Structures are given as C-alpha cells and as structure tokens.
Chain A
C-alpha cells in the first residue's frame, strides 16, 4: 500500500482530490488526518447554505475507519464503548464515546454494524493503538481501513433527491442511522443515513477505484440542471455541527490521551453525552470510574450556549454575573445564519451539580484594529440549536 517516496508528499490526496481541486477556487487547504482537505473552496456562506438549503458534498475519506471482525467483535466493542451495543442490529449505525480507565473520553465516533462483514468504527482521531490494547483477550481482528474506503457526505434538504437522480435507488425507506447497499454504474456503494450536520443527509461509501465515478454521478445532476450541488469545506461543516450540537473531540475538550494536566480531561457526563453511557451493561473500560463519578454531584459541563448580541464570543471567558466570578470558557462558537444567533460550546463549572443561574460572556472584539470589550448574557440550550423534522422523516419530503 505505502509506496516508495510516499513521504515526499506531506499531505496525501484522497481519491476525490482531482475533482475537489477543480472546485477549490481559493486553494485554502488544510490537513485533516494527513489528507489535503479544503477549509473553504469558494465562499463560506454559499457552502453553508448548500448544507442548510440545498445539497452539499464533502470528502469523508480522511475520517479514521476501522474494521472489526471475528467471533468476539460484539463483546470487544461493548467492552470498548460506553453504550450498550447488544441491541445494535445489522445495517444500523450508532453514536458512541469511549473512555480510558479513569472514565475520561478518548474520542467519539460511530459504529456501523455491517452484518457478516463485521463492524466499522469511525472516529475523529487515530485509535488503532487503543483498539489493539483493548483487544487483548478477545478473538477479534482489527484493521485500519481509512485509506481503503472512499466516502462522501451528501447532506442537505435535497440530498435524497440528488442521490436518487444520480442513480442510487431505494433511499425512500432508509431510516436515520440505517445502512443500505445498492449498485451504481455497475459498482457497489453503501449508503448510510448519517451525518454531522443535524439535517437530512447521507454518507456514501465505496472503493477508492470507484470514487471518481461516484463523484461524477452526483455532480451530473447539477450539470443536467436538476439540482444545485456544492462542494463544501471544513469551515462550513464547523458551523453546522455547532448548530446541530455535536461535540468535536480535541476542540471542545482535550481527549484523555492528550490531556497532561490533572482535571483537564472530561467524562461523558461532563460532555453532555451521558445519554450514551449504559452502566447496566457488562463491564466496559471506565465503567468503574463512571459509577463512582455518578455517585457525586457533577462538577462541570460542556454546554450549548446562545450568546446574545452580534459580537462573536471567540475564546471568551464566562462569568456567573457581569463582572462576576469566572466559571468557564467558550470552546467553539459560530454565527448561525439560519438562526440569526451566536452559538457556542462552553466548558463551565457547576455548583452543587447545577449550572450557575446566570452565565455572562466577556467578549473582546475589534473595530478597525481597535479592541473593545463588552458583556453578553448567555442562555444554556439543552436541545440542539438546530433541528428540522426532515432530519428524521421517512421517506424524506420532496425538496
């Protein structure tokens, strides 16, 4: 697989690279897991609205992917992650987090039950070493397949219609977190109704050698004048994932593997993903620590904040009153064009297991290179900021 002199190319090209490069007008590249990935291709707001109001396409190939096979696959995965996987049926996907021994989150991701072909685990960060460590005593095989699977995220209100027009059949009955297989131009594609946008959307998986054909089939719908389809970069994705309330390991919190200082790592409860933790299932790594943690009041939480006003609360400190006691910081934030609000993920201290009654952000902003400071009241949102019925409607409505 690895060719001689491969190291001379610092950033790898995904199988979709040639096509993406044609769309990348401003050449704003960055690295995602070592792949050359577009941050913005053209205009950020156009990419954002492709996701929310049309159809967006993003290259998912760089996402870490692992295949788990063997008789103990389920037992191994159930010991790895906090969620109970025993109820995960073939051709279904579920969202999981996994912890270290101390019950602190190492990463999050999705697990695909591929039936007889085992399971696929997708994660934000590289996890092979942790998977191998966790596999001791289990009869499983773990293979990294990041580079062997090409994938596109096709997301937005018209994503179903676009894929149908591209020749992918049978999506009408595919429910959220479902998987189906279909033939396209004589090769197999797997489609899952999954995504990171909180909207109607799909992820389409195939072998790298069919990647360009898949791409061309999707973009043919645009060239035929049927739908607008737009390539998006990671910046637009960042906006919609905050709207959807999805956490980003490494940005919203330090993963336990990389945390050095005590108390900087975070448990699933502290990240607001305690709903994925099942303390009634058989032992999993971190269970003992999580049971212990549950017995006392929660100390802090990653919360979703709506910040009043129009100033972006970049890296802002948070206080329990205007000019009050400092209780936390903003981890990531975005202006939401569709909600017309400043949205943020924030790490805040809880008092006696509860959020402070008031949370204020101290915001620094520039006007013509001159700094100003202001205060903004914030409100905790327990639900995702953005949600739309079409996200879960089956069949999805016609757009």
Chain B
C-alpha cells in the first residue's frame, strides 16, 4: 500500500482542522502525511461564512453560517498551533444585552449586570452568582479539557483526570461550594435562578444561555450542566464577533494546518470508510476515488460516521443500535436578514446594537417556547439570539446595508408539518417578533434566508442538523459521549477515531474534541 502512511481526516470543520494540525505536528516527523477531506467547496463546516441575497457574495450579504459568536475557542490550541501567526482575529469583545420592549434593556457581562429597574440585590447577586458558577465551571475543567476517564479498566491518564477532578471539586471549590455544586449540578436552571434573583428579565436571559442549542427548557433537569458547559469559554476569553465571520476563524485554523504540512482538499466527499477484518483500510470518495490508509479520523457526527460511512454490517449490533438511539435532532434555526439601513431599538446606541442581543424576557417565555418543540412544533414566541456583525465589520456587505444573524429557538428537526410547509411561516413569525423590538425592521429587509435543522443537515452534513452533533444530555456526555465504547476518541473499528463535536466535550467552536482526539491518537501511536 503506497499510502499506508497517510492519515485521513473526514470533515474540514474546526475540530477536524485542529486535530489534523496536531497530528501533522506529532506524526509528520515520523513520515505521516495528513489529508483533510471536506465534502463542501469551502472548509469550516458549520463554522464558516456564507453568502445570501440576490447577488450572492458580490454586493449581497455575508454572514456566519451556523455558529456566529466565538466564545470558547480553547486558548491552549491558540498557543500550540500558533494561531495568531496563522491570522486568527477573534474580533471585538461583546456583551450580552437582553432586550426589553420599552427600552428597559439589561446588559450582562461576565461579571456584572446593569439596566433599568434592576434591584441592588439582583445586581449584587449576579456578581456572586457568576463568581460561584465560574468556580464550578473551573472545577469541571479537568473533565472538560481532558479525555473523559473510563470508569472500568482505568489507565494512568484516567486516574490523573479523576484525581484532578476530585481535587478541583473538593479543594478548588472548598467544602461549602462543593456541597452547593453537588446540589445544583444535576438539577434545572429554573429552580436555581429562582433562588438567586427577582428580576424576570435577568432570569430569562441566563436561562436562555442554558438552553440555546439544546432540546431543553429551563425546567429540564441538567440545564445547570449545559450552562456550565457554556461558561467554560468565559473562563479564558470574552465572547467576540470574528471579522469576516466564523469562516475567517476556520480559515486561520486551515492556514495553521497548511503551515504544519496538512493537505486540505475541498469538494472531496467521503462516502465510505473501507474496512477489512475489523480494521480501516481506506476511504472511498463520491468521485470513485479511493485512498488507502490505516488511520481515519472522523469529524463527522457519530451517526454519519458509523451508520453511513462505516455501515452496520461491520459493527456489533448493539453498538450500532446505541449509536442509532442517540438523540441528534437539532432544535435551532438560523435566520439571516439583509437590511437596508440599520434598525433602531428604543434607547440603544449603535455600539449597543453591535452586541449579542437576546429576546428571552422571562423564564416562562423560554419554557413556553420549548414546549412547542416537545410536540413537533416551532415556538409561537421563539427565543432569539441576535447579532448585527456588519456594525463592526464593513466587509460583510455594501455601504448603507447591514446583516442581521438570528439564532431562533425552538425549531425542531422533526417538525410535524414538515419544514417545506413551515419554513416561511416560521421566518415570518421571527420577523414579526423582531418588529416588536426593532420597529420598522420589516420594511428594511431586502434579503432573508432561514436555515432550519433540516437545511443544516443537508448543507453541512450534520445528522439532525444538531449544533452539538447530539444533545449534551448527561447521558450523552463525558464517558458516554457519543456512547460508551467510543468515548475516548477510539472506536470499535481499529484505526477509526472520532474528533468532532460528537465526541467529548461536545459542541461549540472550541476545538477541544479535535485536540483531545489528536492527543489520544498520538498517545496510542507511541
């Protein structure tokens, strides 16, 4: 086999690029070449920049495709891969503003909250709440930034991780905080926030952060955990809007990969991972091309990897069944609006409009929005996360025009009526909700597109269109992500590894699954 020293990365999203770069640095000197095969014509996957509007990219609008706020890219990756040298620009730091209809907006930073009508107690509680929860997030860090430890047949690395976790929980937090963490760790954010705050707007905004991207409402158990997952990013860097959109971030990752010697091919769709006698022998592309290799790292979600690319006939039946039973239906739609002129919000400056804006007026609103998703309907009153990146980034469109990027929850993948029927209805509903906060916005819209989970699935090759490649429920996290038996990046198939959001610690533009997968492969190759 001429190419036995080729490593194939399936999927050029951010985790795939990160993993490829680490592998090229680690195994390049041993004579391995690393190839990234991306099915789309553009690298980055869901972390890319896309065009919409009549003239497409010429005179039209450009916007971050799925992920639009950078808040958790692992700083260790930045250092290890020298991303600054590769042109990474995180962009301006932004805060979160929860919109009120009458100008009573709340501004939430990592440490403080301000806004009309907030009580002094709530303002103080917010600071101590964030402090406490950041310390919980920090205590979980050994778990979130390491390979998830096995609980059976532990090796040294597993023991170290568990020891670090135990140490961080007991001595990092201290006895009282640890007890409180153990109390809230498995419960829902609704109860916790009711204990902490009076302001409905404040509770709504925090609750939204706990459930955006998940098939969960504030009352769903384990939403404290999803909130802590989100806070991981706050431990090291502010949330930012990357100039040129999220595609620029993955372009920098691709540049770092190229510098490390990685070959990146776009428009190269892998249709099959070839297996003989339980071991990887290569990949087949839709062009008919075959690449021989003994090592394939899949950045695709677990269902795509195992059920489509590998196929059940080469897997144990119960393993395949467990993969099939993972919950991977997305619940988020993305609305992109091309606007003539900048929309106005009562009592907000242009600078404020450039922040991350939330429409989540209270926890009941968020819970009701979620209720619809349980029954295969989109929310009557959706929870929205809005950015206007063109305010700080003129490259996204022409003078006098603006781009609005809206994450809309909840939009269940398996919509009862089907998305062909529902797409425009839901888009209209979001626009009409926006109109209540941005008066006159409807008349400013010159272009719009709605990416439903079905569209995200089709366009970005993610089963169910799920942002996290599968729910971050506690039963699909840590040593059970995506399922036990494949939770340490290696899989039952010899030579096949997972490196994407389907693996621990899950989704978000973190790069951590990619880094940990590479570390695992390098450790096994020694």
Give A contacts to B, CB under 8 Å. Answer: 75, 79-80, 100-101, 130, 133-134, 136-138, 282-283, 285-288, 291
Q: Is B312 located at the chain interface by the 8 A CB criterion?
A: yes
Q: Is B87 located at the chain interface by the 8 A CB criterion?
A: no
The reply to whether A134 and B313 contact each other, CB–CB distance below 8 Å, is no
The reply to whether B492 and A79 contact each other, CB–CB distance below 8 Å, is no
Sample of 30 A–B contacts (CB below 8 Å): A75-B313, A79-B312, A79-B313, A79-B317, A80-B317, A100-B317, A101-B316, A101-B317, A101-B318, A130-B317, A133-B318, A133-B321, A136-B312, A136-B317, A136-B320, A137-B307, A137-B312, A137-B313, A137-B320, A282-B313, A282-B314, A283-B278, A283-B314, A283-B315, A285-B317, A285-B318, A287-B316, A288-B278, A288-B316, A291-B278
Q: Is B438 located at the chain interface by the 8 A CB criterion?
A: no
Within the complex, which residue of A136, A138, A286, A291 is in contact with B324, where a contact is CB–CB below 8 Å?
A: A136
Instruction: Compute how far the CA of A283 lies from the CA of B278 in the bound complex, rounded to whole angstroms.
Output: 7
The reply to whether B311 and A137 contact each other, CB–CB distance below 8 Å, is yes
Instruction: Compute how far the CA of A6 lies from the CA of B25 in the bound complex, rounded to whole angstroms.
Output: 69
* Size band of the interface chain B makes with A: 10 to 19
Digit string of B295-327 for contact with A (CB within 8 Å is 1, else 0)? 000000000000100011111111111001000
List which B234-268 residues lie within 8 A (CB) of chain A. none
17 new A-B contacts at CB < 8 Å, known A283-B313, A291-B278: A79-B312, A80-B317, A101-B318, A101-B319, A133-B321, A134-B317, A136-B312, A136-B320, A136-B324, A137-B307, A137-B311, A138-B312, A138-B313, A285-B317, A285-B318, A287-B278, A287-B316
Q: Which of A137, A282, A285, A286 has the most CB of B within 10 A?
A: A137
Q: A287-B278, A288-B278, A288-B492 are in contact. Are A136 and B314 (CB under 8 A)?
A: no
Distance (whole angstroms) from the CB of B506 to the closest CB of chain A: 24
A contact residues around B275 at 8 Å (CB): 283
B contact residues around A75 at 8 Å (CB): 313
Instruction: Compute how far the CA of A185 lies from the CA of B204 in the bound complex, rounded to whole angstroms.
Output: 79
Instruction: Compute how far the CA of A133 lies from the CA of B317 in the bound complex, rounded to whole angstroms.
Output: 7
Instruction: Compute how far the CA of A394 lies from the CA of B307 in the bound complex, rounded to whole angstroms.
Output: 47
Instruction: Compute how far the CA of A288 lies from the CA of B486 in the bound complex, rounded to whole angstroms.
Output: 14
Give B contacts to A, CB under 8 Å. Answer: 275, 278, 307, 311-321, 324, 485, 492
By Cβ-Cβ distance, the 7 closest A-B pairs, closest first, are A137-B312, A101-B316, A134-B317, A285-B317, A133-B321, A101-B318, A285-B316
Q: Which of A101, A133, A286 has the most CB of B within 10 A?
A: A101
The reply to whether B318 and A100 contact each other, CB–CB distance below 8 Å, is yes
Distance (whole angstroms) from the CB of B319 to the closest CB of chain A: 6
Within the complex, which residue of B307, B316, B321 is in contact with A286, where a contact is CB–CB below 8 Å?
A: B316
Q: Which residue of B lies closest to A131 (CB)?
A: B317
Q: Which residue of B lies closest to A279 (CB)?
A: B277
Distance (whole angstroms) from the CB of A120 to the closest CB of chain B: 20
Q: Which residue of A lies closest to B316 (CB)?
A: A101
Distance (whole angstroms) from the CB of B518 to the closest CB of chain A: 25
Instruction: Compute how far the CA of A80 lies from the CA of B317 in the bound complex, rounded to whole angstroms.
Output: 8
Distance (whole angstroms) from the CB of A345 to the closest CB of chain B: 28
A contact residues around B316 at 8 Å (CB): 100-101, 285-288
B contact residues around A100 at 8 Å (CB): 316-318
B contact residues around A286 at 8 Å (CB): 316
Distance (whole angstroms) from the CB of A6 to the closest CB of chain B: 31
Distance (whole angstroms) from the CB of B434 to the closest CB of chain A: 43
A contact residues around B315 at 8 Å (CB): 283
B contact residues around A79 at 8 Å (CB): 312-313, 317
Instruction: Compute how far the CA of A101 lies from the CA of B275 in the bound complex, rounded to whole angstroms.
Output: 18
Q: Which residue of A lies closest to B494 (CB)?
A: A288
B contact residues around A282 at 8 Å (CB): 313-314
Q: Which residue of B lies closest to A132 (CB)?
A: B321
Distance (whole angstroms) from the CB of A78 to the closest CB of chain B: 9
Distance (whole angstroms) from the CB of A27 to the closest CB of chain B: 42
Instruction: Compute how far the CA of A283 lies from the CA of B274 in the bound complex, rounded to whole angstroms.
Output: 13
Q: Which residue of A lies closest to B314 (CB)?
A: A283
Instruction: Compute how far the CA of A89 lies from the CA of B313 in the bound complex, rounded to whole angstroms.
Output: 22
Q: Which residue of A lies closest to B485 (CB)?
A: A101
Q: Which residue of A lies closest to B278 (CB)?
A: A288
A contact residues around B492 at 8 Å (CB): 288
Instruction: Compute how far the CA of A135 lies from the CA of B313 in the bound complex, rounded to whole angstroms.
Output: 9
A contact residues around B314 at 8 Å (CB): 282-283
Instruction: Compute how far the CA of A119 lies from the CA of B317 in the bound complex, rounded to whole angstroms.
Output: 20
B contact residues around A288 at 8 Å (CB): 278, 316, 492
Distance (whole angstroms) from the CB of A75 to the closest CB of chain B: 6
Instruction: Compute how far the CA of A398 lies from the CA of B492 in the bound complex, rounded to whole angstroms.
Output: 55
